[in-house]
């Protein structure tokens, strides 16, 4: 129900967002064989990155090693014109997409906790800012470039915007279940763990993906991603 509410809020608040011609042109362009292989490669990269962080018990910021490498590869492929992610960095709705991301992050955090925060955790402004920027640049940005900018964008070009959106969400959930199966199989006996893979992971991908689809930019989904990692650690409920 919470996911449905957030999805409806995104749809309603983005009803008047402009629809750039570049976006329509991009998703009407047929995929070449290299891009099909790229879809498999970056899905495997995401699986390997998430698996290693879980297996070795690394901090979330260590996702940068895998996803940062993926972003660099995408940049090089774009220069060689072999393949190009759709990041939406030149669209006119960037500012509004970031405002929408902030609103959704606050709403989602409060609704998930079912209470109003009573304060913030100890630390100076610069300490909190540093933690947020670290999460933004090392975890959220790389994930969104790979997942939204390439995997979802490629699936949307392959099967259409909405099928691509839901396919990405299903892939995220399946990947979560597979990682648990290979590295923490005992956790699958607990109902909450199954809910993570069958419901929470796909729901998160749907929210990030719809924000990307409606705003035509990964900046909004990246900011939302970073805020959802940061706010639970910043606020005291």
- Can you tell me the distance from the alpha carbon of 180 to that of 121, in angstroms, rounded to the nearest whole number? 31
Q: CA torsion, points 153, 157, 163, 165, in degrees to nearest 10?
A: 10
Could you give the percent of the chain with pLDDT greater than 70? 94
Average pLDDT, the chain: 87
**DSSP H or E run through 119:** strand 119-120
Cα 177 to Cα 159: distance, rounded to the nearest angstrom: 24
Say what the pTM is.
Answer: 0.92
pLDDT tens-digit profile of 219-228?
A: 999 999 999 9
Q: Which helix (H) or strand (E) holds 184?
A: none
Give just the sign of the alpha carbon dihedral 234, 55, 134, 165.
Answer: negative
Task: Count other C-beta atoms under 10 Å from residue 32's C-beta.
Answer: 11
Query: What pLDDT score was predicted for residue 234?
Result: 86
94-143 pLDDT tens trace: 777 888 999 999 898 888 777 777 878 888 889 999 999 999 999 999 99
Instruction: Give tens-digit pLDDT for 39-97.
Output: 999 999 999 999 999 888 888 888 999 999 999 999 888 887 766 777 776 665 677 78
Quick check: 184 and 69 in contact, CB under 8 A? no
Beta carbons of 154 and 171 less than 8 angstroms apart:
no
Residues 6+ apart with CB under 8 A from 40: none
Is 3 or 50 the better-scoring residue by pLDDT?
A: 50
Outline where the chain has alpha helix (H).
2-13, 21-27, 33-55, 63-79, 94-113, 125-135, 141-146, 153-159, 161-183, 191-195, 201-215, 218-234
Measured CA to CA, the distance from residue 36 to residue 186 in angstroms comes to 34
Is the separation of the CB atoms in 217 and 87 below 8 Å? yes
């Amino acid at each position: 129900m919470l996911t449905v509410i957030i999805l409806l809020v995104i749809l309603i608040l983005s009803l008047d967002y402009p629809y750039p011609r570049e976006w329509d042109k991009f998703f009407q362009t047929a995929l070449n064989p290299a891009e099909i292989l790229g879809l498999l490669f970056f899905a495997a990269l995401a699986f390997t990155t998430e698996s290693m962080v879980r297996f070795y018990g690394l901090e979330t910021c260590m996702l940068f090693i895998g996803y940062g490498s993926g972003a660099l590869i995408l940049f090089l492929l774009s220069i060689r014109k072999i393949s190009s992610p759709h990041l939406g960095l030149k669209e006119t709705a960037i500012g509004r997409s970031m405002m929408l991301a902030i609103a959704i992050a606050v709403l989602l955090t409060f609704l998930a906790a079912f209470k109003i925060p009573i304060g913030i955790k100890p630390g100076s402004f610069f300490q909190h800012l540093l933690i947020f920027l670290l999460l933004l640049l090392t975890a959220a940005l790389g994930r969104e470039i790979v997942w939204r900018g390439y995997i979802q964008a490629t699936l949307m070009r392959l099967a259409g915007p909405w099928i691509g959106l839901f396919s990405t969400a299903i892939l995220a959930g399946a990947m979560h279940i597979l990682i648990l199966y290979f590295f923490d199989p005992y956790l699958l006996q607990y109902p909450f763990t199954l809910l993570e893979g069958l419901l929470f992971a796909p729901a998160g991908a749907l929210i990030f993906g719809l924000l990307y689809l409606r705003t035509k930019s990964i900046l909004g989904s990246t900011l939302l991603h970073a805020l959802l990692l940061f706010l639970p650690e910043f606020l005291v409920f």
